[in-house]
Amino acid sequence: MILWGKISQFSVFMVLQLLAGYRKSGLLEIEDREERAIIYLKDGFIEAVSVPRSDHMLGARMVKANLISAGELRKIILSSALREKREFLGITLMKSGSVDKEEIAKIIAEQAYENTLELSNWVTGTFKFIIPTMPVVFPISPHINVQHLLLETSRRLDEGQRPTKAKEPLPDDELCSSCTSNCSGSQKEKYLKDGICLWRNMPVIVRETFFAAEKNQASDDEAEERVPDLPFL
């Protein structure tokens, strides 16, 4: 184990940005009192996001997207179960010729985005980053940029999307007491919603851009207030 900590002190998204910045490869395991999730990284990019949700299974998503029928999927899974060597469902589907590889990659990418959204309300528990002796290899991987993943998650949260399974949030004062973002009152009012802190979970590069814009706006407002009300202006 290389890195360990509490989610209440360092959010999952903050840790992801750190690992991406150092281009780390390994497994980021997140646990709370109820569940365990795993984020797979390679050279700082997301290979997969595994969250225990039955409605996020790859096969079910393929059927929902009308890429394959439920009957075809059932036959493929049954034939795969009879083989001695089990393999990743995406590979089995690709070999069957039922679904194009690019379509499978798109579904896996969307699965990663939605699973990351699920992690946005994990505010208790622990995280640990490990490098396994045998690296996990994904033959089909979306290879997602972490900043893009977090920006997309922030956008979805800002538009009102929420995780499918609600978790008991920390009180706002407890959530803020362990945060190092130093938000202003207006930022808290704008970004702290339904027990999820959008500002805390926002990628640093995006946060700095927003902060600079808000700071400049505040400076302009202050400058206007200092200008005397002269008749020739």
Could you report the per-residue pLDDT of 166-178, keeping only the tens digit for each? 776 666 666 777 6
Please answer whether residues 77 and 95 qualify as being in contact, where contact means their C-beta atoms are separated by less than 8 angstroms: no
pLDDT recorded at residue 211? 54
Rounded Cα distance between 17 and 159, Å, is 22
pLDDT band at 208, cuts 50/70/90? low
DSSP H helical ranges for 10-97: 12-21, 58-64, 70-81, 89-96
What end-to-end distance do the CA atoms of the chain give, in Å?
Answer: 65
* Residue at 145: amino acid letter: N
pLDDT band at 230, cuts 50/70/90? very low
Among the residue ranges 65-69, 125-129, 167-171, 191-195, the one predicted with the least confidence is 167-171
pLDDT recorded at residue 231? 39
User: Which one is predicted more confidently, 224 or 200?
Assistant: 200
| 3-class state of residue 175 by DSSP | helix
Tokens describing residue 24:
């780390």
Please answer whether residues 169 and 123 qualify as being in contact, where contact means their C-beta atoms are separated by less than 8 angstroms: yes
Average pLDDT over residues 70-98: 78
* Mean model confidence pLDDT for the chain: 79
pLDDT recorded at residue 142? 85
**Is a pLDDT exceeding 90 seen at residue 22?**
yes
**Is a pLDDT exceeding 90 seen at residue 129?**
yes
Average pLDDT over residues 191-213: 66
- Which candidate, 91, 66, 67, places its Cα nearest to that of 77? 91
